[in-house]
Each structure stands twice: as C-alpha cells, then as structure tokens.
Structure 1
Amino acid sequence: MEGWKERLLNQAGKETLIKSVIQAMPSYAMNIIKFFKSFCKRICSKVARFWWATSGKERGIHWKKWDCITDSNSSVGLGFKDLEKHNTTYLAKQAWRAMKNPDAIWVQKACHDILPVGSNLYKRRMAPDLLCQICLKGMETVKHALLLYDWARATWFGVEYQWIPTPETVNSIGSWMVKCIRKIREGGRDDHEKRISKLGFLLWEIWKTRNNKLFQQQEVNQSWTISKARALETVYGKLAKKQQTQKREANRSRTYPMTWRPPPEDWLKANVDAAFRKENETGAIAVVIKDSKEKMVLGFSGKIQAKSSIVAEAQAIRQALIIVNNLNMGKTLIESDSLKLIQTIKSKTTIGEASAIIQDIQNLMEKIPEKGMTWTPRNENRLAMQ
C-alpha cells in the first residue's frame, strides 16, 4: 500500500483497491493455513490507515472502529473483510466441502487411502513400522486414525447423533460416510445439510487432534475435539449467513444503486456525520456542503467530546447550522443518517442526553428563513463525504 498515494484516489477508488486487490491477495493462503492473530491485526491496521488517510497525510481521523466498517453494507458497514474471521471461514469450508463435494481434495485423500498415516508411510519406507503411535495397539490405517481407535470411537460416540463406527460396520472411509449421509437424508428433517456438515467438521478436527498429538505432543481429549468442531460449525454458519447477506445487498445495490441526491436549484445541502469512541468519550464530526450541481462549497471536520453517539451526531448538526448562519448561506437542507435525531428535531421534542444541543439546534433553525432537515441512508451519506 505504500506505493499508492492517497491523494490520487477518492474513497470509491480506495474501496475498490482494498476489496479487489489488497484483501483478495491472501485468500489462497487463507484456504490452507491458519494466520496468527497478530499478523491479521497488522494487515487490518494498515488497511484502516490507508482508508482514512487524506490529502497525502500518513494518518487521518478514523471515523469508525474497524469492527464497524467490516459489517455488511446492509448493517451500515463498508463490507471490508475481517481477515481473522475469514481465515477461519475458509478453513471451515474445507471441512464442509468434504461432505458437499465428493471430489474435494481432503475427502479424496481419505477415501483413496492416501493420507500420511503409519501404514502408508511404512509402505514408502518413511516410517520404521506401521504401528499407531497414539494407541500403540494396531496398524494405523486411515479408517483406524479417523474412526476406529479407542479415542476416535469415543469422540464419535460423544456427539449428539452418536455415530458409532466399529470394525464390522466400517469397510472404508468412503462407504462409511455414504451410509451416514444416507441415514441423515432419510431422517426426514429439514436440516439435513447442516447435520451432514457436522460430520465433515468432526472428521477434520479428529485429524487435526491426531496431528497435534504426534507432532506437538498435545494430549488427546474427545470433549475438547467435539467442542472445537462445534465452534468451527458456529463460526462458519455465522459467516456464511453474513456472506449471503452481503451478496443480497450487493445484488440490491446493483439493481437500485445508491446515489447522493442533490438539493433543489438555488439550494445547498449540508451532509453531516459523526464518529464516537465510547471508551474515552471522544469523537469527531464532519460537515460537507454542496450545491445543486454537486459542487463542494465548504467542508469542515473537528474533534469533539461526547457521551454517546446520538450526542456526537447532534453536535455535527449544530456545527452545520452554525456555519450556515455565520456565512449567511441562505436556503439550506441539513441531511443526516441518524433517523432518531432527525425525527426528534422535526417533531420539536427532545432526547434527554442531548437536550441542550437539540435546543441550540432549534434556536439556530429559527434564524434561517428557508431551511430543511432530512434523513438519508448511511450509504448515501457516505457518498456525500467523498
């Protein structure tokens, strides 16, 4: 990102660069390895710095927390990726594909007996013997490692569906999986795809636990393995749902594109926005005033003290009115994405925590002969700030 000059790109250009290039580059690696949290945070920090930088400055005002702008567009976020969560999602998909796609690499290796277990390594003279190094009781084949040795069988028995693989019921991994899937589908319930995915997640976690025992000397624990499989399923479910929401929102945006609505001729429009940090009760406000031809007339930004986000938004509206009054700008529409605040001002009621500021707003409004107060969706308000 150091090679890109912030002053050469507007916000739309930066958004395209971040989503299509910067956050897309590590996607392949995230399908294979688990990134360290610190590594993900460093990347996200650089992306956030690049996004908020203005006029070639190295640092700019961060109007929203990173957690907020990684929300989907429908949740008033910007739809940027949280790399740590997406890394987990990509890895979870590998397990889920095992059940959804019979040609998936991991399943293919398990079903064709080409995982690096003891018996296969011994055949290739890469291990001194074919004994299972965990139970020390028999030959380690793929079906032994994933289904049949004592710890693996206890793990399968411990899950809610109580799959119980035995030497008599397991001829091969592939045939056993087919039997389980058929049994789930014949159950007549609507959630069979979700239940099938549980099978894949548990297979994946058993394999990981086996590897952690052999290579990192971590003790095997069936309860912990089951918990990790459930956690993986939960994370994947949430992020899969989030991705579906983002796709629906993207399709809706393509059908009904968000645009900034100019004011009537001879009028100005002042779009306002605010950011609030709860931990230290600080924030920042911004005002952008444009004419009916979308030409910027004036811009303002500044730091504030605030007790809540609604107080911060109220301060932004008050600042816009102060500018309009002091510069005698005439016919002006004030536009904010805070629906609650706009409704309060237009109905001439109040909000306790912002009552003093709202009173100032009402007094300033009375001094402007021709004015208006409107609400706009978050996305349109963001467009006005570009």
Structure 2
Amino acid sequence: MWSLWSSRNDRRHGKAPIEKVTAINWALDICFHLTSPNKSAEDPKVPPLVPRWQRPPGNTLKVNIDGAFDAEEESGAIGAVVRDAEGGFLMATTRWLPDVGSALAAEAEAPCAGVQLIYTVTEGPVMMKTDSLELVSLWNNRGSHKSEFAPIFGDV
C-alpha cells in the first residue's frame, strides 16, 4: 500500500510515478522476503535492509507529516503520524483539503495537523519531519522572510 500511495504522491508532485503493477509486484516480493524463514542477514544474495525511518532521541516524539495536491481538482490532503522514541505508533490523522492552490500550500497545512495531534499528549520534546525542502526553508526563514504561509506558521 505504501508503494501505491508513494506513487500517487510522486505523480501529484510532478515526479515519474511507479507503475501500479510494478508497485504491487514489489510489495508481494517484499512480503515474500519478510516471511521467508531461511533468509539470513549474512546471505550475500539478500541486500541489507536500509532503514528509512529513523528513531528520534530518547523521550522525544516524532511526527511525520505530508501533504498531497491534485492540480486538476485543486484539492489536496494532509496526514500526520506520531511515533514514540521506540518507533511505536501512537496516533495519526488525515484531513481532506477541498480547496488548496498548490502542493506547497498542502504541505504547509500539514504541520498544523501534527501539532494538533501532539499538544494533548506531551509537553516534552517533539521532532517534526517532512519531505518538503521548500517548506523547511520557508519555516527556517520565517522570521526574516514573510511568505503567504506566515499565518499558518504562526498557528504552528
């Protein structure tokens, strides 16, 4: 499912999508390898697994956020997932954006969803992760460079 979702997200962000049949075959292949009892990590035929998600420092919650955009419909969606320092799932949310103007606008709405998730469960350290370098740049320069997303950043 992640492969299909990632392909849809790539397509909506202007990247070349993964063919659906290829994505399904990839997922089936991964399931086969994960359930195969005879494969060892030292087997030279099996490439080592590269961790994609990294744990936050101890006692820190990690919030992964993302936004999606459909240019034809001028709509989008956002999502956020919260995990603890051990990688355990705590909570998640999604929200439909019926009227959004760009992929960056959808990405800019995602931190709000992440903050709304965590504000009731912790007052401790929180790490937020996004795949949008443009959003990170706008956030890091929010004090010196005003953008159209300044009100959203103020809410965060």
Shorter-chain TM-score bucket reads: 0.5 to 0.7
Alpha-carbon distance, 1:281 to partner: 1.9
Counterparts of 1:228-267 in structure 2, within 5 Å, are 257-267=50-60
Higher strand share: 2
> Match for 2:19 among 74, 80, 90?
80
Task: Work out the CA distance in 2 between the residues paired with 1:63 and 1:311.
Answer: 18
- Counterparts of 1:194-273 in structure 2, within 5 Å, are 257-273=50-66
Query: In 2 relative to 1, CA 281–300 (structure 1 residues): closer, same or farther, beyond 3 Å?
Result: same
Specify every segment of 5 or more residues in structure 1 that has no aligned partner in the other structure, as ranges. 1-9, 16-50, 53-61, 72-76, 84-253, 362-386
Equivalent position of 2:137 in the other structure: 343
> Which of the two has higher C-alpha Rg?
1
CA-CA distance at 1:320 after TM superposition: 0.6
Partner of 1:41: none
Q: Distance in 1 between matches of 2:20 and 2:114?
A: 33
TM-score (norm 1): 0.30
Q: Identity over the aligned pairs, expressed in percent?
A: 24
Distance in 2 separating the partners of 1:67 and 1:80: 14
SS of the residue 2:9 aligns to? coil
Paired residue for 2:75? 282
- The corresponding residue for 1:301 is 94
Amino acid at match of 1:337: D
Task: Describe the SS at the equivalent of 1:311.
Answer: helix
The residue aligned with 1:167 is none
Equivalent runs, 1:25-174 vs 2, <5 Å: 51=4, 64=9, 66=11, 71=16, 77=17, 79-80=18-19
Structure 2 residues not aligned, in runs of 5+:
23-46
1:207-229 Cα distance to aligned partner (Å, 9 max, x none) = xxxxxxxxxxxxxxxxxxxxxxx
Secondary structure, aligned partner of 1:315: helix
TM-score w.r.t. length of structure 2: 0.67
Structure 2 CA distance for aligned equivalents of residues 325 and 308 of structure 1: 27
Give the match's secondary structure for 2:79. strand
Conserved in 2, the CA contact under 8 Å of 1:63 and 1:274?
no
> In 1, distance between residues paired with 2:56 and 2:133?
19
Structure with more helix by fraction: 1
- Report how far residue 275 of structure 1 moved: 0.5
Q: In structure 1, how many angstroms separate the alpha carbons of the residues matched to 2:154 and 2:83?
A: 26
Map of 1:34 onto structure 2: none
Over the aligned positions, Cα root-mean-square deviation in angstroms equals: 3.1
Q: Which runs of 4+ in 1 moved over 4 A?
A: 65-70
Does 2:145 align with 1:316?
A: no
Alpha-carbon deviation of 1:298? 0.6
How many angstroms apart in 2 are the aligned matches of 1:340 and 1:66? 18
| SS of match in other structure, 2:66 | strand
The count of corresponding residues between Structure 1 and Structure 2 is: 129
